Amino acid sequence: MSRVAKKPIALPKGVELNIQDTSVSAKGPKGTLSLAKPAGVQISVEDGNAVLSAKDASLVPLTGTVRAILANMVKGVSEGFERKLELVGVGYRAAMQGKDLSLSLGFSHPVVFQAPEGITLAAPTQTEILVQGADKQRVGEVAAKIR
């Protein structure tokens, strides 16, 4: 079996894992995330750890992938993820307008970026942007769009 798939996922305090036939959801202080569970991958909770196993040898690589995604879900709902962007350029500035991010990037007008649901944007200084959220993939996707 894959080394990644063999390693159990420690469930921190305050994180619940709800396992159903076709989906798995993780609920914690930062929110709730769900994942469609592939057929042939078994997930169980034993002694505060989530353990994954494959029904046959051909599903072992998929089990490792599901384990990595599930570990990111658990970390996301307990701690959250954050990406830090830095504006580099003369006169480039970022400021918050309510929940929207206003970027002055040398155009004749400011560029306004609306945060999608589940993502928090912040501009601690005029040249820094923080993208925060529970879903690692969405945080990276929003950071890439802003970039």
Task: Clarify whether residues 138 and 96 are in a common domain.
Answer: yes
Residue type, 87: L
Model confidence, pTM:
0.82
How far is Cα 135 from Cα 138, in angstroms, rounded to an integer? 5
Question: Same structural domain for residues 8 and 72?
Answer: yes
Full residue range of the structural domain in which residue 49 is found:
3-78
pLDDT tens per residue across span 84-98: 999 888 888 898 988
Q: Are 5 and 67 in contact (CB under 8 A)?
A: yes
The number of distinct structural domains making up the chain is: 2
* Residue-wise pLDDT tens digits, 18-67: 888 888 999 999 889 898 988 888 888 888 888 888 888 888 888 888 89
